[in-house]
Chain A
Amino acid sequence: MVTCACNASNDELTKQLDRIIDPYRGNPGGLIQVLTKAQNLVGYLPRRVQVQIAEGLGVSLQEVYGVVTFYAFFSLIPRGRHKISVCAGTACYVKGTKMVTKTLKDLLDLKPGQTTPDSRFTLEIVRCIGACGLAPAMIIDGKDVHGRLEPELIPAVLEQYA
């Protein structure tokens, strides 16, 4: 999330989105790239963002929405400030993904896909983050990998994210 555009005025958001769309204007092939960048900008993909993208690329809103709902990376709802992605890849699974999700569920009262009421964390399940050697692992905010997790270690990890 580069800037949180939710707070930017609508005009400002429109302009920023236009800057993302411009290189692909009228080119439906750029849809996934544009959506990725738009989500990085806004944090999620609300209707008005999808409409602007649809019109910019010259495709129907249906086409855009079909794509958005196909790929797990895209979200229709706002996410928390920090995204916890628990790995449920095979390596992690055999080494304790169930334990990790249970601990997080107990600590945060969250099910996968949900966000805490204070918007601090969103919990999601992903398949293999490429840290299988350190299974079980989770990744926070798409970049901080935390491996060899055990229930006692998780609270300290969460502490680091306000």
Chain B
Amino acid sequence: MINLTIDNQQVAVEPGTSILEAAQKVGARIPTLCYLKDINVIGACRICLVEVQGAKTFIPSCVAPVAEGMVVRTNTPAVLKARKLVLELILSDHPMECLTCLRNQNCELQDLAKEFGITEVRFDGAKTEYPADDSSPAIVRDPRKCVLCRRCISVCTNVQTVQALCAVNRGFDTLISPAFNEKLADMECVQCGQCSLVCPTGAIVERDDTAKVWAALADPKKHVVVQTAPATRVQLGEALGAEPGSIFTGQMVAGLRRLGFDKVFDTDFTADLTILEEGNELLQRVTNGGTLPMITSCSPGWIKFCEHFYPDLLNHLSTCKSPQQMFGSLVKTYYAEKEGIDPEDIYCVSIMPCTAKKYECQRPEMNSSGYQDVDVVLTTRELGRMFIQAGLDAANLPEEEYDAPLGISTGAGEIFGASGGVMEAALRTVYEVVTGETLENIDFEVCRGISGVKEATVQVGDLPVKVAITNGLGNARKVLDKIRAGEADYHFIEVMCCPGGCIGGGGSPIPTDIDIRLKRIDATYTEDERMALRKSHENPAVKALYEEFLEKPLGHKSHELLHTKYTPRGVNK
């Protein structure tokens, strides 16, 4: 242990601990801006400076390791003054547009300005003026608001290994951007939005599509239906000020009704459906010698990643559409027919923890109903804003139930939102379908948790099924490289683009960090346990769907409506 003094308090910490972390132990909160635990530790912004006895300059606490006998002061007038001047400089190169900024009241820079009591910026020199990139359906970049903390680059490069962004130029002209100022829409960016999740300011935000939804709700001709992704119910509360881990399922349904949606449905329903289609696809591949391992396909960020970086492995992907897209094509066919509504009049809104789904719904393949299957995707953050705008006090709304039939679901559908959930749901079903026996213990603990690569062998009848589960694209890469090298003997792999799975998706409430992800995961499994039905093949509405409409898994209609194909895209094209 290393002993040091911080603000006159003795503290002992592990070697390698940063001053910042050590200070937290004695209750000293040091402000930060560029720092992002475990992801971006570069000491660039200089907001976290402290005084260390004997040092010639102030020391950035986020990067500086503790040393034996160190004497640290975190809040001397000199330190506070230096931090304030650094912040004043940052603000002198920032458009002061808080009132019209998506991150208003949820912005680390704004918080710092308030915390430091900035009342004046004395420098009126040049400001960074680069044009915004709003080419992407998922995210919008406005470099004027960028503080060059590089958190986005770190997450895109090190966590997602996409490397869509880099620092361009140098000095005051530094810009965060793709090479050659390419548009995010035209390159390898997978639209996962993880950058928007970590950006401390409004420099990268989700594309705000709420206006489209308000317009649809105002249009009397439109039959507006909404689907909510599994993860959203354990996220929405946070967007409205509740503690991480709060479950807002019933309140969300109630609020959506009050916003004026004609039907409130659940993506959990098509998640159950996905299990039947995908499970059967797996069984077919195993029996008929199809391409193995088979890999899940419900994460559009992951799909785009595979199309760019592993186009040679596309035949490993399940041909199943994501649950949100299955929902879209069913709502404009099955549901329209059933209710006698002209599909043209149906407006399908998705609430997703995800920015990539904004991109996904615009893919040309996603028109199997004859219309754009899903009209618009809102992230959890956007839905939160709609609730606030509409004056919905969500916490005090009565809990309401989803509409039938597309709102009927099981716990298996629910756990799709956490990494390992799709696998666990599939195992619950495949086991019973293959063995014909009832599964005693349906909790597959091996699938759960936040670690990047999970592996397990599950005995299904005679067959030891080898599975792998990854979250975060950097981890997907590890498994994909194994496949490429011919070293992967898995049957089935679950890949989720975002760290922790959808509960940590790019459209999640901000902040989202490891601890918050874990709380959402816990909430997810709590929801699962609360459900009466917890296996997809037991979902009565799904059974009815097959009986009334689809006939059987992997049948003709299924192929038309629920399955898709992929486009090899490559890089640097």
Interface set of A (CB-CB < 8 Å, partner B): 47, 50-51, 54-55, 60-66, 69-70
Contact = CB atoms under 8 A, between A and B. Distances in A.
B165 interface: yes
Interface string B233-246: 00000000000000
Contact of A55 (B165, B179, B572): B572
Interface string B169-203: 11000000011100000001000000000000000
B163 A60 contact: yes
A62 B170 contact: no
A154 B170 CA distance: 33
A69 B572 contact: no
A61 B169 contact: no
Contacts of A47: 180
A63 B153 CA distance: 11
B155 to A, nearest CB: 14
Contact of B178 (A50, A54, A62, A70): A62
A70 B170 contact: yes
A69 B163 contact: no
Residue with the greatest number of chain A CB neighbours at <10 A, chosen from B167, B170, B180, B188: B180
B169 A64 contact: no
> Which secondary structure dominates where chain A touches chain B?
helix
Nearest to A51: B572
Interface residues on B, range: 10 to 19
Contacts of A55: 572
A69 B571 contact: no
Contacts of A62: 163-166, 178-179
Contacts of B179: 50, 61-62, 64-66
B168 interface: yes
Nearest to A46: B180
A66 B180 contact: no
Given A47-B180, A50-B179, A61 B572 contact: yes
A44 to B, nearest CB: 13
A54 B180 CA distance: 14
A66 B572 contact: no
Interface in B134-176: 163-170
B308 to A, nearest CB: 11
Q: Which of A55, A60, A63, A64 is the most central at the interface, judged by chain B CB atoms within 10 Å of its CB?
A: A60
A69 B164 contact: no
A144 B180 CA distance: 33
A47 B187 CA distance: 14
Given A47-B180, A61-B179, A66-B167, 18 more contacts: A50-B179, A55-B572, A60-B188, A60-B571, A61-B572, A62-B163, A62-B165, A62-B166, A62-B179, A63-B163, A63-B166, A65-B166, A65-B168, A65-B180, A66-B168, A66-B179, A69-B168, A70-B167
A63 B163 CA distance: 8
A64 B166 CA distance: 9
A50 B188 CA distance: 16
A61 B347 CA distance: 40
Contacts of A51: 572
| Closest 4 pairs between A and B when the two form their complex, measured CB to CB | A65-B179, A62-B166, A66-B166, A60-B163
Contacts of B188: 60
Nearest to A72: B170
A69 to B, nearest CB: 5
Interface in B326-378: none
7 contacts: A50-B179, A54-B572, A61-B179, A62-B164, A63-B166, A66-B166, A70-B169
A38 B435 CA distance: 63
Contacts of A66: 166-168, 179
A146 B401 CA distance: 84
Contacts of A61: 179-180, 571-572
